[in-house]
Amino acid sequence: MKREKTLQIYLGSVAIGGDSSVSVESMGRIYPGKVEECLSEIRAAALAGSDCFRIAVPDEEALSGLIQVKKHSPLPLIADIHFSPALALKAAQAGIDGIRLNPGTWKSRHQYHQLIECLKLGNGVLRLGANTGSLPSRFQKKGRVEALLDSIIEILEVPQKKNFNRIILSAKSTDIDETIEIYERLAEIFPYPLHVGLTEAGEGLEGIIKSTIALGTILQKGIGNNIRVSLTSPNPVLESQVAVQILRGVGLRQKGIEVISCPTCARTRGDVVSFVKEIKEAIQLITSPSPLRLAIMGCEVNGPGEAKEADLGLAFGKSTALLFVRGKIIKTIHQQDALPELIKQLQLMITNQKTKEEEENTL
């Protein structure tokens, strides 16, 4: 799939746009004044696949907390600030990696100039995000897509006049068709990287499916440089995992360990469902420098074929399982030994990869 080329910017150490891979943003639920809880949330999101993290900053106390959080955060941070130009300016002065403003909740012109000057002096990024839930009425006469676009054009005037380009744009709707249309328009008009999301997608399966359709379609068109899945959930882990799976699904995230497994049926020769759950839990803390695919298959129908194609595969038989490594059967094992054996082979494969990489780097 050909990707629309945009400017490339850096949010902290994460490249967004240009040739860089599509990254994942997730958003905190914890008030940043609770510094340790907030950091735990960020670490969990990072582990689940997030590359950057947005935090709402509603008041001065939240900003003080965010400044502390920033000192230990494993991910670059974006301060999400509404209604308070003074707070946005202070966050930029404190060196927060990105400042997210919403055209619908931003009124100051004078402090906007100051904010851009401050971001220009530091390495700060301006994340401009319009949302159908907070569109000012003056924009709403021509329909929601045009209104989102007009509000973005207006809020871009000052940074464009000041020749400030470290900008990421987003314009989100709750409607899938509107979201696809607005991102096509943004990609046509602006050179800036795009943060893509469907706003207020909802809870559970409903939110996941709607986000997958919208984000998957936009990404398949070659549009989008950073994504967020907005789910109603108590923490950002699920939304990070869903975002990563969307990127995997459209072939835009190869790193890490992918597990493919059969749905199971009346032929299934073992407890594939529990096995897959256990292996996914076990590999959460294992990082692989190159993409690796594991296949867990329930019987001899599609099992050997899929297991052979994967880096590591397991095809269940009657109380035993065939273990495949890079296309070859290396042993037949009892099903109760399959989990530790698979993890052992996985770790061996990763160690070999790392040794090979080190050897190549020293040549």
282 binds ligand SF4 (CB under 6 A): no
Residue 359 C-beta: closest distance to ligand SF4, Å: 38
Span from 196-204, 230-238, 295-303, 347-355 in contact with ligand SF4 (CB under 6 A): 295-303
220 binds ligand SF4 (CB under 6 A): no
Q: Using CB under 6 A, count the residues that bind ligand SF4.
A: 12
Nearer residue to ligand SF4 within complex by CB, 154 or 309: 309
Strand runs (DSSP E) across the chain, as ranges? 8-11, 14-17, 23-27, 52-56, 77-80, 98-101, 125-131, 167-172, 195-203, 226-232, 257-261, 292-297, 312-316, 320-325, 328-334
Check residue 12 and give left, alpha or beta (phi > 0: left; psi -120 to 50: alpha): left
Which single residue brings its beta carbon nearest to ligand SF4?
298
Nearer residue to ligand SF4 within complex by CB, 98 or 313: 313
5 binds ligand SF4 (CB under 6 A): no
Tally Cβ neighbours within 10 Å of residue 347.
13
299, 321, 322, 342: which one binds ligand SF4 (CB under 6 A):
299
134 binds ligand SF4 (CB under 6 A): no
Contacts of 234 (CB under 8 A, 6+ apart): 29
In order, the DSSP letters of 26-68 are EE--S-TTSHHHHHHHHHHHHHTT-SEEEEE--SHHHHHHHHH
Q: Which of residues 228-267 bind ligand SF4 (CB under 6 A)?
A: 262-265, 267
Strand 77-80 and strand 52-56: the pairing is parallel
302 binds ligand SF4 (CB under 6 A): yes
Phi, psi of 35 (to 5 degrees): -60, -50
224 binds ligand SF4 (CB under 6 A): no
Contacts of 129 (CB under 8 A, 6+ apart): 100, 101, 102, 169, 170, 171, 172, 195
Residue 246 C-beta: closest distance to ligand SF4, Å: 24
81, 116, 128, 297: which one binds ligand SF4 (CB under 6 A):
297
335 binds ligand SF4 (CB under 6 A): no
320 binds ligand SF4 (CB under 6 A): no
301 binds ligand SF4 (CB under 6 A): yes
CA 201 to chain centre: 15
298 binds ligand SF4 (CB under 6 A): yes
Nearer residue to ligand SF4 within complex by CB, 63 or 297: 297
65 binds ligand SF4 (CB under 6 A): no
Cα torsion angle, 89, 90, 96, 102, sign: negative
Residue 208 C-beta: closest distance to ligand SF4, Å: 23
- Alpha carbons 192 and 186: distance in angstroms, whole number: 9
Binding site for ligand SF4 (CB under 6 A): 262-265, 267-268, 297-299, 301-303
